[in-house]
Structure 1
Amino acid sequence: MTRAIRLSRRLTGPLLGLCLAFAPAAEAGMAFIDSQIAAHPGKSGVYVLERGEEALLARAWLADHAQESIAVQYFIWSTDNIGILASEALLRAAERGVRVRVIVDDLLIDAPDASLLALARHPNIEIRIYNPQHSVGTPFHKRVLNVVTDFRGVNQRMHDKTFIVDGKIAITGGRNMADEYFDYDQDYNFRDRDALVLGRVVADMEASFDRFWESELAAGVEELYDGYGLLQKHVDVGDEEVRRIHDGLHAYAQSPENFGPEVRAALQSMPQAFPRLAEQVTWGSVEFISDIPGKNDSRFRLGGGGLTSEALANLVQSATRSIVIQSPYLVLSEEAKTLLREAIARGVRVRISTNSLASTDNLAAFGGYRRQRRELLRMGLEIFEYRPDPEVQRELMARSASADAAPPIFAIHAKTLVVDSATVYIGTFNLDPRSENLNTEVGVIAHDDRLARSVEVAIETDMQPSNSWNAAANPDRHVSFVKRARARFWQLMPIKPLL
């Protein structure tokens, strides 16, 4: 059973800065966006989405007010509450004539076969699966065969997250389409970060999306279920089942238990908040960086680098005073170590916010970090490991399931780099070999002192003792012996290129 969204009790205070700003009628809202773009010719606007609820409501408003097109890329699209509501929002957009294109990576998609097909059967919806060797249309024995015959191929994933509306406004950043990325999971939630962007840079985002859309690695859902035999599933849905699935999505979204009426009211009211949003958007020079489908030309090795790796390395090399990084996983390649050693040697202070053993969602990745933690500290890196119960959780989560319920574990998922308090990257790139060499990644780089400093302050808040432990003080002691033993097991595994 999926968990219900209940926003009504806490939809006030700081959240109003953006949530209620996205509220006028479609025509007025999009006209306002057009006027802002026209007032800043050749520039791009950025608004940072720090809270899960504002990130969700921004997406909801954009989906409801799209007039021509929606283009979406995600690494994870779950069939939990958030995933179902997002699917229904795209279906509603398609039903009013909006062209909807969706690319989802194959590795962790868990949607039922019939539901995927039913959505793809709508004349205005197209769904493609990136590198389908694991899940969609693939029986278990074919998946095993793929791992044996194309080990690098099955590990090369699309980690991109983009949400582009009408070619003029978009969202990119760390959040996948699942409960825990928007603060709605009752047991485990991520501290994440997105960037809402508009203006010139959106054209570059759309061009990147089109490259993936046309790539031979992206296969249409229908063709993945059309085959017969041992190597491919055959799935079909008739017109009646398509209607039943579509009607079921609409009924789910209309239920107050799943999407409260107060939330809908927030999305439909207070048009006067738009000018308030405009004051918070930073306009200037913004770059969109992205990898090509397939990441690089390597076919057998697990290395190879990529365009995002190169762009971020150049940012690190440009630092003269400070580097602040936030990444859920911290497994440095030899190349990354060299970059940071050189930065420290020229007097740059390097601080990193990452997960502790108590908060991490990935023991294998933490094992890789644990294996090199002492070396990284000796290099001069200042590392802060996030607590599972940070004080800042109360501010970032505008509501809780129950005042009496135990708070969920909170963990870092934001991927951010700030250089010299003047340039900021917000995107999907984790500080690990997988993002460097295997997964395709994206993100925006904004050159603005005020914006960069505001994000840096947010990360510095996460580094405070009430929110993080200093890595030099043995934070592993805060977890059980069993969990430490499991981390030690992964620490010994020779799998660094896959982390």
Structure 2
Amino acid sequence: MKLVFTLLGALLMVGCGGAPLTDRLEHYEGGGACGGTAANTSISEQMTAAAVDDTSATWAYVLEEGEEAIFTRAWLSENSTQSIDIQYFIFAMDNVGIIALDYLIRAADRGVQVRMLIDDFMLDVEEEDVAALNAHPNISIRVYNPNVGENTFQKVRGVVSDFKGFNQRMHNKTFIVDGRVAITGGRNIADEYFDYDQDYNFRDRDVLLMGTGARDIQTSFDAFWSHPLAVNLVASEAAGVDALEFYRSVQAYACDPENFWPEIRALIDGIPDAIPHLIEAGRLHRLEGMRFVSDVPGKNDAKGYSGGGKSTEALIDLVASAQESVMIQSPYLVLTDLGLTLFADAVARGVEVTILTNSLCSTDNLEAFNGYQRIREELVGSGVKVFEYRPDAEIRKRLITAEKQARSGYVPTFGLHAKSMVIDHSTTVIGTFNLDPRSANLNTECVAIMSSAAMAGQVESLMREELDPANAWQTTPFSNPDFHAGTAKRLSTWFRGIVPASLL
């Protein structure tokens, strides 16, 4: 029976390819002149002007809003002069993905060296797209832990023969420009992470780091890029494509105001003017301490589905040493006995432990929610304060600044995707780590651990606001909000109980 479930899971996860981007953009021709072709001001010049160029320090700026997160990445790409290195679990060829691709191609046209490292499992690129991108002398693409095989049968056979190896994915998310500025956090590259989806959007969080912290992230990226698990993505000779026409089509799509509004481009152009205001408002923080902790490629070589990793150990140490409070946001909350004991011990020594996770109404992952249901009663019973995100959280009207959503009335479901902690009102953790066995033992993860009372206060204040009844339901030993989801979704979630907790 176990083999049957393994095979079925493999078949479901391998999936099928979609239409190449070259076909989807066939109606866009000729390119355009909506974006800059050369850097208007270098990132180094901006850092000097903002007095954040001390090479021995790290400055941090928290990216709470999806639209701000996308135009910050766009401005950094447009003003890069040397290199752009990106590492993502998901890089979707949807609206946001195509616009991001346009900025990367424009940077490469200026001579910037662009390296893209994407996890193979969630790669949304067809062979023709690979051929076009690889044709550019300044763009290199590698995939992490590719599932080897010339057809679906061979790939499924590979999954079944090494199921743990297949499940060891790269969940890191980093965006590094000129080796001096980096963004890390929960966001992948897809519409729903930047408030551009019309059905479901994630409430997420990134942090922009300048200085020493950015260099540490660069070192981590280089380690992944040079590892044998990072394999060059090469298209066959049969995947003939006109690369220049491909680039022009991508540019024409991005220049269409229906796809990327002129108002957003105006915000991108206005970033240099906004920086002094951010400093004046106290939102650009000079950190007292900073650690970037990343798992090594391959995570661990322990037998079975355990073994942990550097990120797991770092987070356990933080919770175990907390003296006053632990505030957590995690979209998935599937704890092992070790995790349950860790939080119970913290409560027992007088630490206030508060966790916000998704409700059944807001979650995008029914398997993970089923895993959470299995431990919810014990977790709440230990004294941990647990809240579940509302799909219609009132705060979305402030966090979703995209004009596109304002005009539609904020209809899409709002689901939590931020992976953050604030410890003792002084240490902030922003990264990719979900509180589940997959992050703990299988996926490579990364977290930025930052010491700054001012920054911790800023992040924690917003996290506490999200616990208000208009934004979340509190779970108690006597009640939970599952009934809001309706019978069909509750039943569908119940059936997910067949999935072993170690794989969630």
TM-score by length of structure 1 reads: 0.89
One of 37, 40, 50 as aligned partner of 2:64: 50
One of 275, 287, 301 as aligned partner of 2:291: 287
Q: Secondary structure in 1 aligned to 2:253?
A: helix
CA shift digits 1:197-219 (9 cap, x unpaired): 00111111011001100110010
Aligned-pair CA distance for 1:402: 6.0
Match of 2:354, as an amino acid?
R
**2:490 maps to which residue?**
484
Deviates more, 1:326-335 or 1:270-279: 270-279
Q: Secondary structure in 1 aligned to 2:357?
A: strand
**2:169 maps to which residue?**
157
**1:312 maps to which residue?**
315
2:353 matches 1:350: yes
CA shift digits 1:271-314 (9 cap, x unpaired): 4322223342101221111010001122x411110000011111
Match of 1:268, as an amino acid?
D
Q: Does structure 1 retain, via aligned residues, the 8 Å contact 2:428–2:449?
A: yes
CA shift digits 1:7-26 (9 cap, x unpaired): xxxxxxxxxxxxxxxxx963
Aligned-pair CA distance for 1:406: 6.2
Aligned-pair CA distance for 1:41: 4.2
One of 211, 233, 256 as aligned partner of 1:199: 211
Written as runs of structure 1 = structure 2, the 5 A alignment for 1:364-383 is 364-383=367-386
Aligned-pair CA distance for 1:482: 1.1
Q: Does structure 1 retain, via aligned residues, the 8 Å contact 2:172–2:445?
A: yes
| Alpha carbons of structure 1 residues 220 and 37: separation in structure 2 relative to 1, 3 Å | farther
Unmatched tracts of structure 1, length 5 or more: 4-23, 226-233
| Alpha carbons of structure 1 residues 371 and 212: separation in structure 2 relative to 1, 3 Å | same
Aligned-pair CA distance for 1:237: 3.6
Q: Does structure 2 retain, via aligned residues, the 8 Å contact 1:385–1:470?
A: yes
Q: Secondary structure in 2 aligned to 1:338?
A: helix
One of 151, 158, 162 as aligned partner of 1:146: 158
Match of 1:175, as an amino acid?
R
Determine the C-alpha separation between the residues in 1 that align with 2:73 and 2:266: 15
Match of 2:247, as an amino acid?
H
Match of 1:470, as an amino acid?
Q
Deviates more, 1:251-260 or 1:370-379: 251-260
| Alpha carbons of structure 1 residues 35 and 401: separation in structure 2 relative to 1, 3 Å | closer
Written as runs of structure 1 = structure 2, the 5 A alignment for 1:71-470 is 71-133=85-147, 139-222=151-234, 225=235, 234=236, 236-238=238-240, 241-269=242-270, 271-279=272-280, 280-284=283-287, 285-298=289-302, 300-398=303-401, 399-401=403-405, 403=407, 407-470=411-474
| Alpha carbons of structure 1 residues 479 and 102: separation in structure 2 relative to 1, 3 Å | same
| Alpha carbons of structure 1 residues 140 and 97: separation in structure 2 relative to 1, 3 Å | same
| Alpha carbons of structure 1 residues 390 and 38: separation in structure 2 relative to 1, 3 Å | closer
Q: Does structure 2 retain, via aligned residues, the 8 Å contact 1:325–1:352?
A: yes
Match of 1:325, as an amino acid?
I
CA shift digits 1:421-462 (9 cap, x unpaired): 110100000000000000001121111111111111111111
Q: Secondary structure in 1 aligned to 2:242?
A: helix
2:481 matches 1:475: yes
Match of 1:414, as an amino acid?
A
Q: Secondary structure in 1 aligned to 2:286?
A: strand
Match of 1:496, as an amino acid?
A
Match of 2:495, as an amino acid?
F
Determine the C-alpha separation between the residues in 2 that align with 1:286 and 1:117: 40
CA shift digits 1:324-348 (9 cap, x unpaired): 1000000001221121121111111
Unmatched tracts of structure 2, length 5 or more: 1-18, 25-37
Match of 2:383, as an amino acid?
G
Determine the C-alpha separation between the residues in 2 that align with 1:454 and 1:446: 13
Determine the C-alpha separation between the residues in 2 that align with 1:482 and 1:424: 38
Q: Does structure 1 retain, via aligned residues, the 8 Å contact 2:39–2:78?
A: no
Aligned-pair CA distance for 1:388: 0.4
Aligned-pair CA distance for 1:494: 4.5
Match of 1:181, as an amino acid?
Y
Determine the C-alpha separation between the residues in 2 that align with 1:289 and 1:332: 21
| Alpha carbons of structure 1 residues 84 and 425: separation in structure 2 relative to 1, 3 Å | same
Q: Secondary structure in 1 aligned to 2:323?
A: coil
The CA RMSD measured in Å over matched residues stands at 2.1
Q: Does structure 1 retain, via aligned residues, the 8 Å contact 2:203–2:418?
A: yes
TM-score by length of structure 2 reads: 0.88
Determine the C-alpha separation between the residues in 2 that align with 1:242 and 1:457: 49
Determine the C-alpha separation between the residues in 2 that align with 1:271 and 1:131: 39
Q: Does structure 2 retain, via aligned residues, the 8 Å contact 1:118–1:237?
A: no
Match of 1:433, as an amino acid?
P
Determine the C-alpha separation between the residues in 1 that align with 2:198 and 2:52: 43
Match of 1:243, as an amino acid?
L
Determine the C-alpha separation between the residues in 1 that align with 2:456 and 2:41: 32
Aligned-pair CA distance for 1:377: 0.8
Q: Secondary structure in 2 aligned to 1:244?
A: helix
Aligned-pair CA distance for 1:362: 0.1
Determine the C-alpha separation between the residues in 2 that align with 1:269 and 1:386: 34
Q: Secondary structure in 2 aligned to 1:70?
A: strand
Match of 1:480, as an amino acid?
G
Determine the C-alpha separation between the residues in 1 that align with 2:453 and 2:365: 34
